[in-house]
Chains A and B, each alone.
Chain A
């Protein structure tokens, strides 16, 4: 196998990354014949000898089953909610997936659980290319309504950078600011702190991470930044 780029290089759609048999691809890269070609603006990460991974630098969220997402309730119906999770498809949350209580649509009001404008943390239960994603808030710990705080939207391909390896980055931010932070797979970040200043500090730190995500030595710079603040 022959490589045409180096690790951590920025590639452009149509750029040939490598040529050879049995290349294992993941991320924003496709195969044409025996060539591996980038299909997005991204950074090359070569995990092993035969494996190429291209991490896109930008892009919209695409739902996956078992993703934990932060959604905004857009609509309430008698027994379901329509939730915006940020991708190309709106998500549906049925009452049966939202609560274990008995629910009678004639007597009970779905709005006592979630109302329009609420932020919820939910898991994607089912999704395929033919149907819109269905959410669930009963299948895991810590799912449900998010009370207070603020939500910012970032690029979903960069949430691994915000969390850091084994949560190193996010734990540092929490340590320095004392805020509660939840990161959803769809690129939404929920932040709640003691006061607005602390929350703004978190937002600034996350902005810095996003801006400089493609440059090495990120964690140290962010720690430096947090210390200065």
Chain B
């Protein structure tokens, strides 16, 4: 078998550059722009709204209408604006795929309209359209069971490759787009073009599922980012409660920190370590995928030298950090806490690329957990603590024993659990709801039926009360 050489130098299971942005259009209820390599697509969602013509309406649920459209300048030649066979096909398969995850039963007799405009197309455009549609639906606030991600894989030069580009798609002998929902573990679309052996198909499928899990994270980040940016811009101006605590800690140990800690070196270190963290993170993921690859297909490891180099550099930097730390073994525990808190607060500051931000927040949380345990233990060896706090992420991972350490949230959960045990035995609210729950537990109802009625029945009384209060209030307003 020949060695795989892709036109853009990617490895077999590497995605193209993926960017997602939600809320790009003002007139639509929800919208998203997705850039996947040279694909660019905008999806707009309107609805649920009144359906015309009315005879198309279904009395039990809403219908989902996806209109996929390629603009005339989206491909090499001028695409004639009348809907082609390809556009009709993609509109249909996307409609059916998204109907399976939208809770259409909540809006009988109505329609959810989705317009997908392909601005630029370069292979795998239907999966890019699906990613955009999924993000736009969530942005429009349409109830759905989970997000959908999608990616195409196929055969190029007799190799299984992920995310085919336009030329690879044309020259390749197989194409297999998959839409998959990681939250539900459901495949909502699987098309297959060309001849695959069973092993080839399995390889392609597993590669796609792994890739879609990554895509899902980008989607989630894009959706949260829209609201998080506002939150951070506001809270950046006003000090948080955590910041106050930090300030208090600093004031208590001000003498020590001022005397012993050199501020410039300290401020540089956290940045370095955070960069290292992200690097190692990425390489770990790649190596995991490489393992999968080795099992199934014989493809030379391309990423290993890079990985080694990165680990080397990280270990070097770590060594340098160690020397710095050993020079200052007399640092107080409190001052170290203050530093790490500083580090955490720096990590949480808003950054342009949300991928990095998320990694950093994760790591910051891990560090915080570590810190809590240290405070609890009252460790008497300053050297050890210093090493721990300053060590790189890789070492941290080895030392971080999750079973022995309970995070703050877990402690909270346990506390809640204990309190909950006391008033656990309460009668259920009604015959109907208990019956429904029985059915659900026995898996007699499908997930599509989703006991919406049950939840409604359980909360109707309180809702009614609330409603009455709100109404009274409004009357009052009018009387004023």
A residues neighboring B (CB under 8 Å): 1-3, 6, 10, 12-16, 22, 24-26, 28-33, 37, 39-41, 49-50, 56-60, 62, 64, 66-68, 88-90, 129-130, 140-142, 155, 157, 160, 163, 166-167, 170, 174, 181-183, 185, 211-212, 214-215, 217, 221
Contact = CB atoms under 8 A, between A and B. Distances in A.
B385 interface: no
Given A3-B416, A59-B141, A25 B455 contact: yes
Given A12-B220, A14-B183, A24-B459, A32 B447 contact: yes
12 contacts: A12-B219, A13-B145, A14-B147, A30-B103, A31-B455, A39-B143, A40-B141, A57-B227, A60-B29, A140-B475, A141-B475, A155-B141
A37 B144 CA distance: 10
A152 to B, nearest CB: 14
Contact of B471 (A32, A56, A66, A88): A66
A26 B374 CA distance: 39
B234 interface: yes
Interface string B329-366: 00000000000000000000000000000000000000
Interface of B: 29-30, 47-50, 59, 62, 103, 106-110, 138-147, 181-184, 219-220, 223-224, 227-228, 230-231, 234-235, 238, 409, 412-413, 416-417, 419-420, 423-424, 426, 428, 440-441, 447, 450-452, 454-455, 458-459, 462-463, 467, 470-471, 473-480
Given A26-B463, A49-B420, A142-B478, A33 B441 contact: yes
A23 to B, nearest CB: 10
Instruction: State the 10 A-B residue pairs at the shortest beta-carbon distance, nearest first.
Output: A14-B146, A14-B183, A58-B141, A59-B141, A142-B478, A88-B110, A88-B48, A39-B143, A26-B459, A25-B455
Contacts of B230: 211-212, 214-215
Nearest to B447: A32
B138 to A, nearest CB: 5
Given A30-B451, A89-B109, A40 B143 contact: yes
A76 to B, nearest CB: 19
A89 B470 contact: no
A10 B416 contact: no
A173 to B, nearest CB: 11
A109 B426 CA distance: 59
A60 B47 contact: yes
Contacts of B139: 41, 58
Given A30-B145, A31-B440, A39-B103, A68 B477 contact: no
Contacts of B454: 31
Given A68-B471, A89-B109, A181 B416 contact: no
Given A12-B223, A88-B47, A221 B459 contact: no
Contacts of A28: 143
Contact of A12 (B147, B234, B235, B412): B147
A185 B219 CA distance: 31
Determine the main DSSP class of A at the interface with B. loop
B416 A30 contact: no
A146 to B, nearest CB: 11
B252 to A, nearest CB: 27
A128 B273 CA distance: 59
A2 B452 CA distance: 22
A31 B223 CA distance: 22
Contacts of B462: 26
Contacts, number: 168
Contacts of A140: 471, 475
Given A30-B450, A31-B454, 14 more contacts: A12-B219, A13-B183, A24-B458, A24-B459, A32-B447, A37-B146, A40-B144, A49-B419, A67-B467, A88-B62, A155-B141, A181-B477, A212-B230, A217-B238
A56 B141 contact: yes
Contacts of A31: 440, 450-451, 454-455
Contacts of B455: 25-26, 29-31
Contacts of B476: 167
A40 to B, nearest CB: 5
Given A1-B416, A2-B413, A59 B234 contact: no
Contacts of A13: 138, 143-147, 183
A170 B224 CA distance: 28
A130 B147 CA distance: 29
Nearest to B451: A31
B435 to A, nearest CB: 14
A141 B479 contact: yes
A58 to B, nearest CB: 3
Contacts of B440: 31, 33
A129 B108 CA distance: 6
Nearest to A140: B475
B474 A50 contact: no
A40 B107 CA distance: 15
B231 A214 contact: yes
Contact of A215 (B147, B223, B231): B231
Nearest to B463: A26
B107 A88 contact: yes
A130 B480 contact: no
B388 to A, nearest CB: 26
A212 B141 contact: no
Given A59-B142, A60-B47, A182-B477, A10 B452 contact: no
A183 B238 CA distance: 30
Nearest to A155: B141
B291 to A, nearest CB: 27
A62 B467 contact: no
Contacts of A41: 138-139, 141, 223, 227
A48 to B, nearest CB: 10
Contact of A167 (B110, B182, B471, B473): B473
B474 A183 contact: yes
A10 B224 contact: yes
